[in-house]
A and B are shown apart, each in its own frame.
Chain A
Amino acid sequence: MSNPGNTIVLWILLPMVLSIATSFLRRWKKIYHGLSMMIPLLLAVLAVVFSQNLTLNFAGRHIVLSDSMAVFDRTLQITANQLGMVSFLYFLCFAWNLLDPISKESQWFGSLSLSITALWVTVQFLNPFLYAAVVIELITLLSIPLLSPRGSPAKSGIIRYLSAQTLALPLILLSGWMVSGIETSPSAEALVLRGTLLLMLGFVLWLGIFPLHSWLPMLTEESPPWTSSFLLTIMQLSLSFFLLKVLNQYGWLRNLPELVLSLKWIGALCIFSAGVIAAFQTNLKRLPAYFFLAETGYILLSVAFRGIGGLEILRMTLLPRVFGYWVLGFSVSTLQQALDDNTLDFDSLRGLFWRFPLTSVLLFSSLLNLIGAPLFAVFPARRVLWNLLPVDVLPLSILVAIGVLGMLILFLRLFSTLVHPKQEDSQELTETPKKEGPVLIAAVAFILLAMIVFGIFPDLLDDPFRQLWASFQNLLP
C-alpha cells in the first residue's frame, strides 16, 4: 500500500502549479491547448476513480489518498463523497478548454481557467467555510485579465463586477463572526436576523441577483463571450454548491421559516426580471447575462423546494444548464468572430441565418434549451419545478410565467431578426449561403442530438451525479 499524497494536493495545489507551468508554454500553441484540455480532464476522471473510498488499485499497486491538510491554523478537507463535485468542476473546465482554440479570445484562458477552477474547488472545502469569501475575491481578481484583455479598455461592467464582489467579502465574513455563538446563545433572535441579512446580501452581490444585477449584462457586453460564459457558469455552479454548504452547516438558517419564502420570492423575481428585461434587449452579447439571472432564479427556487424534491431538480438541471451555457457561449463567440463585430446589435445580425445557418441553429437551440422548451435537455427538470409552483403561492407562478413569456418573446424577436435580412441584402444572402465546413456540421448535429436525447432520457445525465449531494446530509430528507 502506498500513500503518495492527498486530495488537497491532487485537486488544488497540483492544478495551480500546473497552471503556472503551462502559462510558460503559451508560445507553443498546440502543446499549450493540449495540456489545458487534458489536465482538467485527467483531474475530473481521477476524481471519479477515487470517489468510492479514495483508493485505487493500479498496476499491482494499492494507492490510498488522505483527505485533509492543515494550512496555518485551519484545515482543508476533500472526502471521497465530495469528489463528485470536484469532478464536475474540472469537467466544466475541460469542456470550455476543448473549444477554446476556436474562440481565440485570450491566450491566458488555458492556464487561468485551471487556476480559477482549483480556487473554486478550494471554496467548497475550506474550513471555516466562510473564509471562502476571500478566495472568491481572489478568483474575481484572477479573472480580470480574462474579462478585460489587453487591447480593450476597462469599462464600467468590469468595475461594477469587481466592486460588487469586493463588497460581498466583508458581509460574508462579518456574518460568520456575528453568528459564531448563535447555537448556544439564549437570546439569539437579533443575531439570527443580522446574520441572515448579511449572508443573503453577500450572496445577492456575488450572484448579481435582482435588483443588484446591473453588472451582469454590462460585463457580458464588454467581455469576450467565451471567457465570460465560462467564468459565469463556474461561478453560478460553485456558488450554488456553496449556498447548499452554508444551509447544511447552519441549522439556525436552514430552519428559518422565512428563509424558504424569501428564496421563493427572490427566485421568482429573478426569473421575472430576467424575462421582462430580456424581451426588450437589442444586443446579443447581453443575452447570456439575462439567462444567467433567470437560471439563478431557478436555482434559488429549487433550493427553496428542497423539502419536496428541489435538490433532485437542481441536480437534474446541472449538466443540461452547463450544456446550454456552453453552446450559447460558443455560438455568440463564433458569431462575433465571423462578423468581426464586438457589439453584436440586433441590427447587425439581420439575415445572419442565411450566411451562418448552422451557428444560428446552434444559437436558437441553446436559447430554447435554457428557456426550458419541450424536447430539450433542461425541460424534464424544469417541468417538475413549474409543477411545484401552483401548489404554493399563485403570484409566484404568475411572476415565473411572465418571465418565461419574456424569454419566449426574446427568442421570437431574435429568430425574426436572424431570418429576415435587410431589404437591400435579401436576394444576395438567400442565394449564397456561407459554407460552414464539415467539422461544424458534425458538431452542430451532435450537439442538437445530445440536447434532444438528454431531453427524452433525462436519467442519462442524472445517473452519474446521484451521489452529488452526499456531503449535504442535513439537507437531504
Chain B
Amino acid sequence: MTDILYTLALYLALLSSLLILIRRQWTLNLITLTVQFLCLFPVLRSFLPLQVAIIQPLTGLMVTLILYLSLINVGGIKRIDLMLRLTSGEVFRALAGILLLSLLLAFIPQLQPTVFPAVPGSYLFLCLGLIVLGILQIGTTREPFYLAIGILTFLCGFQLLYNRLDFSLMLEALLVAVNLMLAMMGSFFVIKHAEEEAS
C-alpha cells in the first residue's frame, strides 16, 4: 500500500509540474502547485520522521496561499477553461518537458550508481525531473510570476535531493525562508504588474 502511494505521489508530482510548465492559467497553476507540494509528503515520509517530512509540503502550501491571496487581490483568479486549445508555445513546452523526462528516465540507471549511489532511482527521477522542469520553466518565461513558480519547482527538486544526501535542520530552515521569500517576490510582481496595467 505504502509503495503504491509512494509511486502514485511521485508521478503525480511530476505530472503537476509538467502541467504548470505547459498551461499558463493562474488558477490552474496554483492548484497544480498545491498538488505538487502535497505529493512530496508520502515521498519524504518514506525516509524522514513525520515532523520533519511535513516541513516541505507545509511550506509549499503556505507559498501557494500567499500567491493565491495576491492573485485574489488583483482579480487574477478566474474559471479554469480546460477546453482551451493548446497554443504552439504550449505544445513546444509539453514536448520539451516530456523529452527531458524521457532522457532522465534513460540516463538515471547509469547516473544513479556513479554519482548518487545513496539515492534510490525512482526518487532521483522525481528530484531531477522537478529540477529540469523548473529550469525549463525559468528558461521559457519572461513573466516574473512564472519565474517564481519555476524557481519554486527547481528548488523543490533540489531540496528533495539534498534532503536525501545530507539532511540538516539548518539548511531546511534556510530553504523554507527562501521559499517564503520567493512567494513574496511572486506576490510583489503580481501586484506591481496589476498596478502598471491599471495606470
Contacts and interface: CB of A to CB of B under 8 A. Distances in A.
Interface stretch (B66-74, B75-83, B88-96, B176-184): B176-184
B170 to A, nearest CB: 4
A166 B182 CA distance: 11
State which size class the interface on B falls in. 20 to 34
State which size class the interface on A falls in. 20 to 34
B20 interface: no
B133 to A, nearest CB: 14
A445 interface: no
Nearest to A178: B115
Contacts of A71: 170
A163 interface: yes
Interface string A168-206: 011001100100100000000000000000000000000
Nearest to B162: A173
A150 interface: yes
B196 A141 contact: no
A131 B174 contact: yes
A142 B196 CA distance: 21
Contacts of A145: 188
B178 A72 contact: no
Interface stretch (B25-33, B39-47, B97-105, B150-158): B150-158
Contacts of B147: 159, 162-163
Interface in A137-174: 137-138, 141-142, 144-145, 148, 150-151, 153-154, 156, 158-159, 162-163, 166-167, 169-170, 173-174
| Majority secondary structure of chain B interface residues (helix, strand, loop or mixed) | helix
A22 B147 CA distance: 30
Interface in B111-143: 131, 135, 138-139, 142
A21 B144 CA distance: 29
Contact of A73 (B154, B169, B182): B169
Nearest to A132: B174
A134 interface: yes
Given A74-B168, A144-B185, A163-B138, A137 B158 contact: no
A213 B142 CA distance: 18
A144 to B, nearest CB: 5
Contacts of A153: 192-193, 196
A454 B185 CA distance: 42
B171 A131 contact: yes
Nearest to A122: B174
Contacts of B3: none
Contacts of A159: 142, 144, 147
B11 interface: no
B195 A72 contact: no
Contacts of B192: 148, 150, 153-154
Contacts of B131: 170
Given A74-B170, A166-B154, A177-B165, A138 B138 contact: no
A135 interface: yes
A154 B170 contact: no
B5 interface: no
A169 B188 contact: no
A197 to B, nearest CB: 13
A154 B148 CA distance: 13
B173 interface: yes
A166 B174 CA distance: 14
Q: Which of B147, B174, B181, B185 has the most CB of A within 10 A?
A: B174
Given A162-B151, A170-B158, A72 B181 contact: no
What 4 A-B pairs have minimum CB-CB distances, sorted nearest first?
A134-B174, A72-B169, A141-B181, A72-B170
8 contacts: A131-B170, A134-B171, A137-B178, A141-B184, A150-B192, A159-B147, A163-B139, A166-B155
Interface of A: 71-74, 131, 134-135, 137-138, 141-142, 144-145, 148, 150-151, 153-154, 156, 158-159, 162-163, 166-167, 169-170, 173-174, 177, 180
